[in-house]
Amino acid sequence: MPNPYVSNVFKDLKIFASLSPEDFIAKAKYIDAEVMTQTAIISIDVLRMNTTMLVAAASGVLGISLAVKPTSGDCDLTPPVYGDRPWKFGGEFNGLPIQGASFSNSPLSIPSSNLDGKYIKFFSTNGAKAQAIALEVEASTLFLMTMANIESTVAEVILQKYSSVWFLCAGFYNSPCLEDTVCAGIAINHLSECGFSSNGQIDDGAKICRYTADIYTGKSDRLLSDIYESQVARLLCNIGHSEDVHACITGEGLPLDLYERMTNTVIQLQRSDGFPLLVPITF
């Protein structure tokens, strides 16, 4: 049984943040199950899955199915639901597009993929893990957020009147990463400015995120420079995807009209015929 004294520490908090999925799992056991059913989980994976999914959503995708990336790289390219509707498939394995996929885990691979009016099945590691976590703890819902749609996601969370919000960062191999932490911090500041919570209703993880984001307020060049020197960006540069960093942080390299739609698009987990699908909401 979870320590009741520890559980009491979290009792009156409204904003939580976990800098990795493992951080979430360790903390969630102390949160009352009834509280969790009124909590919106916001998944953050700036480099790169959430940004890639946001580009797809802004390109007209009707629904997104996240599938766990198999360790063998042998992906099942069949629709998980709605077999009579048009589907496309995406993902990467060891930095290369999976065989038979229409796009990779790169936001720059989407614009030419003709996804308008289609459903996609995307093979991922962290994204599928975040979705599985949200379903397992019976949270109210799951949102996908990245740098481009922070304001629209926060606005939707407030509109839907959730009691609490939990930011779940993908991190880097079970550890924190800079870009996800900053992204969460910017969103937490927006929530606070909208009166969602007081400083005393924010857990330590959320405070770490907002204090980190504050360092970069009005210093976008410094943020981009530091991210290029960070863990995930170094990995992307090593596998030939350095241009994805700019695209994920600033939208550089993406069509301007597409990026504008991204800023006005929210991705939320819903159930379609009992099956979990991430569905775009465009304002």
Strand 141-145 versus strand 96-97 pairing type: unpaired
What are the backbone dihedrals phi and psi of residue 88, each rounded to the nearest 5 degrees, phi first? -130, 160
What local confidence, expressed as pLDDT, does residue 4 receive?
A: 86
- 226-283 per-position pLDDT tens digit: 999 999 999 999 999 999 999 999 999 999 999 999 999 999 999 877 899 999 998 7
Amino acid at 275: F
Give the span between the Cα atoms of 150 and 166, in whole angstroms.
14
Banded pLDDT at 97 (limits 50, 70, 90)? confident
Give the span between the Cα atoms of 259 and 241, in whole angstroms.
19
The residues near 270 (Cβ < 8 Å, ≥ 6 apart) are 141, 276, 277, 278, 279
Tokens (6 digits) for 258: 């597409």
Looking at mean pLDDT, say which of 2-11, 46-55, 132-141 comes out highest.
46-55
Q: Is 178 in contact with 226 (CB distance < 8 Å)? A: yes
Dihedral in degrees, nearest 10, Cα atoms 173, 249, 122, 258: 180
- 142-198 per-position pLDDT tens digit: 999 999 999 999 999 999 999 999 999 999 998 999 999 999 999 999 999 999 999
Which pTM was predicted?
0.95
Q: Is 189 in contact with 210 (CB distance < 8 Å)? A: yes
**Residue 184: its H or E element:** helix 178-193
Q: Is 86 in contact with 118 (CB distance < 8 Å)? A: yes
Of 114, 128, 113, nearest to 49 by C-alpha is 128
Give the span between the Cα atoms of 54 and 282, in whole angstroms.
11
Strand 265-272 versus strand 141-145 pairing type: antiparallel
Banded pLDDT at 1 (limits 50, 70, 90)? low
Amino acid at 264: N
CA max distance for the chain = 54
- 2-50 per-position pLDDT tens digit: 788 888 888 889 999 999 999 999 999 999 888 999 999 999 999 999 9
